Structure 1
Amino acid sequence: MENNSPRQRQRRRRPKADVAPAPRRAAPVTGRLRPLSQEDMARISEASFDILHDIGLSDASPEAVRAVVGRGGQETEDGRLLFPRSLVEEALAGLRRDFTLCARDPSQDIEMTRSRVHTGSGGASPMVVDLETGAYLPAMLADLYDAARLVDTLDNVQFFSRSMIAGDMETLRDLDINTAYAALAGTSKHVMTSCSQAEHVRDIAGMCFLLAGSAEAFRARPFLSLNINHAVPPLRFDPEACNVLLAGAELGLPVMVNTFGQMGASSPVTIAGCLAQTNAETLAGMVLAWIVNPEVTAIYGARPMVTDLRSGGMAGGSGEQAILTAAATQMAQFYNLPNSTIAGATDSKIADAQAGYEKALSVTMAVQAGANLVTQAAGTQAGLMATSFEAYVIDNDMLGAILGAASPIPVDAQTLAVDVIAQTVRGEGHFLGHPDTYARMKSDFVYPAHADRQAPDAWLANGAPTINSAARQAAQETLANHFPSHIPAEIDRDIRSRFDIKLPRERMRQA
């Protein structure tokens, strides 16, 4: 990529924004949305066990076959790998719960406890929406780094999952290593990335060990995890992704065990059938990771998607998608497994009203269902085909409102405020000046940074700004001025001496 393009030069000329950061709020504990009954979940689980035992998955790598057969599994004559119920149950009993996905900045750690919710970025967009023109452009490594830098400043985008594919990388090894580096350099939040080949996992792990100081230090505080799509629905493994999963588990990297079936295309058209197949595919990956490392940090990532049956395309902003996502989250909770899901995959091409309602619907339902990690919750457009910096900023406001609405309501003597009511009605007659009101202004309320709350006359007097114009300016100012420096210079030099890092140092500092 040309690192001095007009869009980059214009970003650097913007003045620094003078915005005080909001205090970080605790992740809410949710899980009140329950579209499936306990009996429903039990029946779906039984169907998944039957699928694994009787149908199995094809195209497993030789390494995966050896692992499963060595624990009582079977490979059929037509090449399908069967998982006995006893093995699945043993793995479910042994898999870790209630762990922490760490960040370089400990204040940004993610607690993977039951129904504690965190929202973040994600996707594999081949395109980026240009901040200046709105044009869809091929995504480059510098764009990925910019996305990480922007997310680093957004309070409600709580982790950075690789959001786009750097189209200027010539080889898969270059892509995997440089994607991890750009993300880790751009943010001190927890990073999630992908890997195409098992040997590249060792490279990424080596980079993480350098940053942490040692392999042991990284395993004690893992600040990077791998997104792995080990299955190709219906009921097939991706052999290379299987080996990536095995390598990640062996090396002690947290692994996101993700499955993407499309309802009516690569999974049954019914929600129940889609859930049964997707659950089976996801459990197969969880079992594989556990076999090679019983202490593995594995996250259940069932992500069934809805197909628009008129066109065959994804319908990520539909109501059906929202309820399907909530139900998939329930299945993870049925086994008490730390989990992740996708929500926010709007079909809109720009950050408009359609994007707003589609994202708000799907993300709200995922949050209320209690998904531990909601990826793709910010910044994506066009069914995950593009990443928008403007949308990141708008979505950060949206996520603050959604997470705030998910917080439980405390009811006690202090919050019932009977004494305060008595004092107020006998005194000033309103609560605006009461000490409790002032004290709770920041703790109990989420104030949007860019959504407009002015009175109409003040809004007109100030030029009738839109949330889009405010978000665009905020993104430009951040990208002109925010260049994280949490990687010490000597470690950065060591990384660059061992790996072919394509992101120039001069691109990583203010002009």
Structure 2
Amino acid sequence: MDDTTNNAPRRRPGRRRKSGVVQPEHALPRKAPVGGRLRPLSMHDIAQIHSASLEILDKTGISEAPSVVVRAISERGGRQTDDGRITFPIELVTKALAGLRNDVTLYGRTPDRDLDLSNAQVHAGSGGASPYVVDAQDGSYRSATLADLYDAARLVDTLENVQFFSRAMVAGDMPSTHSMDVNTAFASLAGTSKHVMVSASEPAHVRDIAQMCYFIAGSEQAFRDRPFLSLNINHVVPPLRFDAGACEIMAEAVRCGLPVMVNTFGQMGASSPVTIAGCLAQTNAETLAGMVFAWVLDPDVRAIYGARPMVTDLRSGGMAGGGGEQAILTAASTQIARYYGLPNSTIAGATDSKLADAQSGYEKALSVTMAAQAGTNLITQAAGTQAGLMATSFEAYVIDNDMLGAILQSAAPIEVSAATLSTDIIAETVRGEGHFLGLPDTYARMKSDFVYPAHADRQAPDAWLANGAPTINAAARKTVSDTLAGHFPRYIPADIEQEIRARFDIRLPAARMQTI
């Protein structure tokens, strides 16, 4: 057992659901790496943070709890204080931590795209819910549309290292929140067979999204067995206030069999303490409150611990997602999730840069690498997002896919065995040709042990100049153009799509979903 979890509350084993093997259409090139070697907190540090979080929940509590939370928690020993805050007794939190599932899989539409969240397996994906998109033609910012969201899903569908599609942008051309929620789910599911994460504005919208998923899966039970869509839910407004509407949405999602991302977004120095330790203690308490609530609703719930503490630039009050403080804060929050043995997600890659440039590259690489090395199961916003999550760049998706290939490879364990120590090969080679380039082992491992970037340039300088001094940005833009011109997958069968269009006001024209 990893020593990060030695003192964590005892957990019951979850129930794993197995599925038949299907020949993959889009097989990922290698197994998910297992992180967890980066541990910025000592065991004593984690124990103190855990204790502080329990104290916050038990003594201070969380305000503005809706009746669905008050009822659920009160029945399990919680109480309301004189000033209306609901408290979570330590015994209840401990029971929930011992009972929450630790075997969660988020499913794709085919088994080769499933995401196993057990242990410290690392998966990176999109996200951001940005209001703007970076125009591929001139680099300007414009309001995002439903068609942009569909295009983003189609592009991500082809990028092997962007392994799930969390709603990348807000479809600003939708006439209502209901239209936006339903159409976002439809466009995402039409564009990719990878696991999809969306949001909902009201409980009734959750039911409609779930019904759409039931249609696509073939039945409600088929979806419940292999849920290929989950909901991002921000159940609290830091510091320590429930979002009543989001709690109602979580309750409805649990009833409908949707996995729930239990997300918290405190900003260090603004809506949480300015110290990393204090920020972690408050954010952990807020996240645990949501996890306990979900577990009380259904002990078999697929709930993902989604602590997302963010850093504030105290000079301006804005978010500063690209700094070293953010990277270490993210890694520490992941270590806490692993202490509990909970499937987890976090944000990394929230660059402050407005374009896919050098600043974007170093800021994303720093935060995503540390999240992967810490063992984050789901790294959201790891590709495509710019300007502190305010904009989505298709060009950046392609560049970031190269980056993620390198980062995920760096998190893979090093195999040390008689075969890999290669002492016999060394002895033969030094007495023979004097190099290893032509050996069968070298040729075989060239294909299995290395990740080769599709757009980063590795030519010698003379060859690079002779080929016109290409840039990674230009190569990425061409890939975007070629992909969007030709990749129109049909992941929703025609008869099911017709049924969905008859039931819901789908705003994505059928003609937009085929090669022109």
TM-score higher than 0.5: yes
SS of 2:236 mapped into structure 1: coil
Q: How many residue pairs align between the two structures?
A: 492
Distance 2:434 2:481 in 1: 45
Distance 1:430 1:315 in 2: 48
SS of 2:130 mapped into structure 1: coil
Q: Summarize the alignment of residues 235-254 of structure 1 with structure 2, pairs less than 5 Å apart.
A: 235-254=240-259
SS of 2:392 mapped into structure 1: strand
Q: Summarize the alignment of residues 376-387 of structure 1 with structure 2, pairs less than 5 Å apart.
A: 376-387=381-392
Counterpart in 2 of 1:48? 53
User: How far did residue 23 of structure 1 move?
Assistant: 5.5
Q: Summarize the alignment of residues 14-163 of structure 1 with structure 2, pairs less than 5 Å apart.
A: 24-163=29-168
Deviations 1:301-349 (A, max 9, x none): 0000000000000000000000000000011011110000000000000
Deviations 1:79-111 (A, max 9, x none): 211111111111111110122110002101000
SS of 1:57 mapped into structure 2: coil
Deviations 1:123-171 (A, max 9, x none): 1100000111111010000000000000000000000000100000111
Counterpart in 1 of 2:374? 369
Counterpart in 1 of 2:261? 256
What amino acid maps onto 2:257 in structure 1?
G
What amino acid maps onto 1:160 in structure 2?
F
Distance 2:254 2:430 in 1: 63
Question: How much is the aligned-residue C-alpha RMSD, in angstroms?
Answer: 1.1
What amino acid maps onto 2:367 in structure 1?
S
User: How far did residue 391 of structure 1 move?
Assistant: 0.1
What amino acid maps onto 1:89 in structure 2?
T
Distance 1:305 1:163 in 2: 19
Alignment TM-score, normalising by the size of structure 1: 0.95
Counterpart in 1 of 2:346? 341
Distance 1:23 1:248 in 2: 29
What amino acid maps onto 1:370 in structure 2?
G
Dislocated runs of 4+, deviation >3 Å:
20-23
Counterpart in 2 of 1:474? 479
Counterpart in 2 of 1:329? 334
1:277 corresponds to 2:282: yes
SS of 1:155 mapped into structure 2: coil
SS of 1:457 mapped into structure 2: helix
Counterpart in 2 of 1:454? 459
1:174 corresponds to 2:191: no
1:295 corresponds to 2:300: yes
Distance 1:135 1:22 in 2: 35
Segments of 5+ residues of structure 1 without an aligned counterpart are 1-19
What amino acid maps onto 2:88 in structure 1?
F
User: How far did residue 411 of structure 1 move?
Assistant: 0.8
Counterpart in 1 of 2:19? none
SS of 1:46 mapped into structure 2: helix
Contact preservation (8 Å) 2:28, 2:112: no
Deviations 1:179-209 (A, max 9, x none): 1111111000000011111111111111111
SS of 2:188 mapped into structure 1: helix
SS of 2:36 mapped into structure 1: coil
Contact preservation (8 Å) 2:35, 2:374: yes
Q: 1:163 to 1:363 in 2, by over 3 A?
A: same
1:405 corresponds to 2:403: no
SS of 1:310 mapped into structure 2: coil
User: How far did residue 114 of structure 1 move?
Assistant: 1.1
Alignment TM-score, normalising by the size of structure 2: 0.94
Counterpart in 2 of 1:419? 424
User: How far did residue 458 of structure 1 move?
Assistant: 0.8
Segments of 5+ residues of structure 2 without an aligned counterpart are 1-24
Counterpart in 1 of 2:199? 194
1:432 corresponds to 2:437: yes
Percent of residue pairs identical: 71
Say which of 209, 213, 216 aligns to 1:211.
216
